[in-house]
Structure 1
Amino acid sequence: MKNRKVKVGIVGLGRLGYRHAENMAFRVPHCELLAVCSVVEEEVKEAQEKWGIPYGYTDYDKMLENRELEAIFIASPSRFHCEQIEKALEAGFHVFSEKPLGLYLEEVEKVEKAVSRHSDKVFMLGFMRRYDPSYAEVKRRIDSGEIGEPVLIRCYGLDPAGKLDSFLRFARDNYSGGLFLDMAIHDLDLARWYLQAEAEEVWAIGGSYAYREFAELGDAETGAAMVRFAGNRIGIFVAGRNCVHGYHIETEIIGTKGTLRIGTVPERNHVMLFNEKGAIKKCFEGFLERFEQAYLKEAEEFITCILENRKPSVSVRDGVESTRLGYACKESFETGRLVRIKS
């Protein structure tokens, strides 16, 4: 293992895919980024020239024919994940896929079967918050009994208003899956992870307020969901795309003996400006900045699992159940009804 490198090909070179590719090219030990793939030819050429990547593709199937590769890293739009996961597994590769696992229950359950058929391969899903130091520390404290039995989780996930135009272009191409599957999916996964319980009922509401375009797309600019988990545990989730002060992620877990809270103020650093407007702190501008270390750590874990022939803690089942809950939120929002979740 000392000198061995896992040869990886990545599909998707958008904002997040570009960051993953750069990490694997330069920052992830024992990893060699050997191939890049995107339907945008200019993105492929730029990555190859800038980083010296030997293979470039605009056709995903062609990349899968490259037998020098050992693993495929999927950072394409959400609606392509399931098909690309299955193809990569069938072609004999280890697979990492960004969240969500998929946009529909039928397809994620099909992918789960494919992962089971290829149990000799490492499959990992990109719920990167589990690898963020603060979120990982909260998990350790919950498991140690520090707050007793966790009974309620409250999550805010608010994207910066400055990114709205680019997201609307993404949504119009039917790539996102909507507010609950695209954005809130991280919080839904955290709730399952922290509470160690599956969802049973959900009621979701939302609307388009400053940006009516979301209503035209059948989506919400801002939405909220209340979820009853097994054991009568409670989940409260708020997601929005019009946060004027920046990228705001906040999580609180209330237990029978105490409370844990993460990210109450989304401060970029410890610098504070005092002027005629008061005391001012800069906020994070986006998810890539806030979770920079988490994205790196999850990629490192994927490569290490391949080298050590072990499975990551984030499983395909986590993807299936989080999608099941996200889809139930979407259904409740669209119908205005309480949705009971079938196990």
Structure 2
Amino acid sequence: MQKRKVKVGIVGLGRLGYQHAENLSFRIPFCELTAVCSINEKEVKKAQENLEVPYGYTDYDEMLTNKELDAIFIASPSGFHCEQIIKALREGFHVFSEKPLGLYIEETQKVEKVVMEHPDQTFMLGFMRRYDRSYALAKKKIEEGAIGQPTLIRCYGIDPTKQLDGFIKFATKNYSGGLFLDMSIHDFDLARWYLSAEAKEVWAVGGSYSRTEFNELNDAETGAAMIRFDNQAIGIFVAGRNCAHGYHVETEIIGTKGTLRIGTVPESDQIVLFNDNGVINECFDGFISRFEQAYLSEVEEFVNCIIEGRQPAVSVRDGVESTKIGYACKESFENGQLVHVQNDRFVSN
């Protein structure tokens, strides 16, 4: 039987949003990008012209009145996610939202309740690393017992120095929720996924070293968190916005019988350059190039879930729990105290 095409409307046309829009237009089977939305009219016109999209909107609510659409794709700033998810679900659409689910625990719990009230609509959160081939293979090997019982996970996530000005502008608008909610959320999700455990205690520190503007925003340029999980496993997380050599994402899982490492050298290709500077491996310049395949695979899964009438493995609960960890790290960083995570509240020492 021929699969039908899923018609999608996207909100948010920034750097990642536009990449998603291109993928939806040209690279995802059985998908048709039918509408684009941004408060920036120039972004809307550019997307409509370049991607041949019939409908363009500067008002999200107006896009939700388009009865041709089957699904809404949310790539707007983090602070808008919860409200936009709820509105789209209540209007009867399938929904894909970029991470994080939200910036506050209470609003993510509200979203979870609404998602549960609409079981016939597909909901998916953009934890794309689960769909990266290397990360997916690591999960398979852990399940097969290749490293025994996982006891510690170490994650680095450091963005390129050249993007510092953009980070400061983004943080000034209070769009990100801070270093840990913005940058470490993927690592928190991976930790829960690989360890099959939930966070119990969080200790986070950080500072601003080359750009003091982050101090003024009560945020950090570089930060680190240590987490104890409810199965006694340990998590060590480093997040930063000042990586001189490019985009550095690295994950290590240590177990009772072995160790797995993913992305130890963040090389962008298989070329090694030998010259008077030594031996050079060029690195990825950003998250879009590093996770190009994963961004495609996750959205292909979303579209297939809609067509096949099922839910993806990544659930709204994953979004709630990862936000909980990120917010606990934010509280620990701001208060300088160990934070105990108890159900849906935090207790500081």
Q: TM-score range by the shorter chain?
A: over 0.9
Q: What is residue 146 of structure 1 aligned with on the other side?
A: 146
> What does the per-residue CA deviation read over 1:116-140, in whole Å, with 9 as the maximum and x for residues that have no partner?
1111110000000000000000000
Q: What is residue 155 of structure 1 aligned with on the other side?
A: 155
Q: What is residue 125 of structure 1 aligned with on the other side?
A: 125
1:24 paired to 2:2: no
Q: What is residue 45 of structure 1 aligned with on the other side?
A: 45
Q: What is residue 276 of structure 2 aligned with on the other side?
A: 276
| Contact 2:158–2:240 (CA under 8 A) maintained in structure 1 | yes
C-alpha separation in 1, matches of 2:321 and 2:273: 44
C-alpha separation in 1, matches of 2:10 and 2:48: 12
Q: What is residue 66 of structure 2 aligned with on the other side?
A: 66
Amino acid at match of 2:58: T
> What does the per-residue CA deviation read over 1:7-52, in whole Å, with 9 as the maximum and x for residues that have no partner?
0000000000000000000000000100000000000000111111
C-alpha separation in 1, matches of 2:97 and 2:231: 31
SS in 1 for 2:16: helix
Paired residues for 1:159-238 under 5 Å: 159-238=159-238
1:320 paired to 2:320: yes
Q: What is residue 346 of structure 2 aligned with on the other side?
A: none
> What does the per-residue CA deviation read over 1:127-160, in whole Å, with 9 as the maximum and x for residues that have no partner?
0000000000000000111111001000000000
Deviation at 1:281, TM superposition (A): 1.0
Amino acid at match of 1:182: D
Q: What is residue 266 of structure 2 aligned with on the other side?
A: 266
Deviation at 1:270, TM superposition (A): 1.2
Amino acid at match of 1:214: F
Q: What is residue 347 of structure 2 aligned with on the other side?
A: none
Deviation at 1:267, TM superposition (A): 0.4
State the number of aligned residues: 343
Amino acid at match of 2:73: F
Paired residues for 1:304-319 under 5 Å: 304-319=304-319
Deviation at 1:174, TM superposition (A): 0.9
Q: State the TM-score, normalized to the length of structure 1.
A: 0.99
Amino acid at match of 2:118: H
C-alpha separation in 1, matches of 2:211 and 2:261: 31
Amino acid at match of 2:161: A
Q: What is residue 76 of structure 1 aligned with on the other side?
A: 76
C-alpha separation in 1, matches of 2:3 and 2:334: 53
Q: Percent identity?
A: 71
Unpaired stretches in structure 2, ≥5 consecutive residues: 344-349
C-alpha separation in 2, matches of 1:136 and 1:207: 33
SS in 2 for 1:331: helix
C-alpha separation in 2, matches of 1:256 and 1:341: 26
Deviation at 1:3, TM superposition (A): 4.1
SS in 2 for 1:301: helix
C-alpha separation in 2, matches of 1:296 and 1:244: 28
C-alpha separation in 2, matches of 1:336 and 1:50: 48
C-alpha separation in 2, matches of 1:117 and 1:179: 32
Deviation at 1:65, TM superposition (A): 0.3
1:116 paired to 2:128: no
Paired residues for 1:235-250 under 5 Å: 235-250=235-250
> What does the per-residue CA deviation read over 1:192-217, in whole Å, with 9 as the maximum and x for residues that have no partner?
00000000000000000001011111
RMSD value over aligned CA atoms? 0.6
> What does the per-residue CA deviation read over 1:196-249, in whole Å, with 9 as the maximum and x for residues that have no partner?
000000000000000101111110000000000011100000000000000000
Amino acid at match of 2:144: S
**Could you list the runs of 4 or more consecutive aligned residues of structure 1 that deviate by over 6 angstroms after TM superposition?**
none
Amino acid at match of 1:41: E
SS in 2 for 1:341: strand
Deviation at 1:342, TM superposition (A): 1.4
| Contact 2:252–2:260 (CA under 8 A) maintained in structure 1 | yes
C-alpha separation in 1, matches of 2:226 and 2:51: 45
Q: What is residue 57 of structure 2 aligned with on the other side?
A: 57
C-alpha separation in 2, matches of 1:171 and 1:24: 28
Q: What is residue 301 of structure 1 aligned with on the other side?
A: 301
Deviation at 1:77, TM superposition (A): 0.1
